[in-house]
Amino acid sequence: MAGNFAQINGARLYYEVAGAGQPLVMVHAGIANSQMWDAQFESFAQHYRVIRYDMRGYGQTLPVAGEYSNRADLAALLDLLGVERALLMGCSKGGGVCMDFALEHPERAAALIMVGSGPGGFDFDEPPPPQWDELVAAFKAGDLERTCELEMQVWVDGQGRAAEQVNPAVRRKVYEMNLLALQYEKLGLGTELPTLDPPAARRMSDLTLPVLVVVGDHDTAYVRAAADFMVANLPNARRLTITDAAHVPNMEHPNIFNAGVLDFLKSIA
């Protein structure tokens, strides 16, 4: 599908829109771009007006110099598209952006779907993954291919699984999306502004809208703990655990993911 570019807060954001009805925005993970929603975009467009886009420094949206806020970019994109209120679905970093947006603009968020994500400011005492030191050293040395492979081990293979146990097409696709993001990151352009103050983790009671927390059972201990925290502290949350999946469960098991999310959306319609 041919996409579009929008001049947003000094950047040129790539986005796609499909379908009709209630707006549903898909915000990607920090190891991916909007292509991570390929198995959801057209399927969900049968029921909703679906919007997906590449954040700065991902996919077809180039990084630019200067300070920026991802939630401000999201607000500006929705303004451009004439969307007053939307369902928000974000994975990992994208989930944090969606939650912060919902706190900053509660009248504009109809529901949250948090995939492999957690609230800003959530603290969990977890040692770094065993790959961490090598990962940091590889990035500093400019070995982005090795950096990317180590990140695949952490996020896509996940805890308790080897690469051979993961769908190779999914792993390759995430690798390619993440490698591009690392190449952009190496340029050193742009400074993301801090998250909300106080952070989302201290404002759970403010989020009274319906929330679906989706987590893969092989995701990191931090993400699984964040899922527990949200379900326990959000006023109107439910949980969907997807087995044999790590940080991008929508890519590993799209049929299960799509059915679970659509059931949630129908239940709150």
Every domain of the chain and the residues it spans: 4-123+189-268, 132-186
pLDDT at 77: 98
Structure tokens at 96: 């944090």
For residues 117 and 54, the answer to whether their CB atoms sit within 8 Å is: no
pLDDT of residue 94 exceeding 70:
yes
Closest CA to 54 of 34, 32, 30: 34
pLDDT of residue 2 exceeding 80:
no
Predicted model pTM: 0.97
Please state the rounded mean pLDDT for residues 216-240. Answer: 98
Q: Give Cα 268 distance to the centre of its chain.
A: 22
Q: What residues contact 64, with CB distance under 8 A and at least 6 apart?
A: 10, 11, 56, 189, 190
Please state the rounded mean pLDDT for residues 221-239. Answer: 98
For residues 267 and 236, the answer to whether their CB atoms sit within 8 Å is: no
Strand partners, 17: 51
Q: How far apart are CA 45 and CA 51, in angstroms?
A: 9
Please state the rounded mean pLDDT for residues 174-181. Answer: 98
Other C-beta atoms closer than 10 Å to the C-beta of 101 total: 27
Amino acid in position 149: E
Which tens digits make up the pLDDT trace of 112-146? 999 999 999 999 988 999 999 999 999 999 999 99
Q: How far apart are CA 157 and CA 232, in angstroms?
A: 27
Q: What is the DSSP string of 200-222?
A: GGG-GGG--S-EEEEEETTS-HH
Q: What residues contact 104, with CB distance under 8 A and at least 6 apart?
A: 71, 75, 196
Separation in Å, CA 173 to CA 72, 107, 148, 152, 197: 28, 36, 12, 11, 35
Is the CATH number 1.20.120.80 carried by domain 4-123+189-268?
no
**What is the biggest distance separating any 2 CA atoms in the chain, rounded to whole angstroms?**
51
Which tens digits make up the pLDDT trace of 32-67? 999 999 999 999 999 999 999 999 999 999 999 999
pLDDT at 195: 87
pLDDT at 138: 98
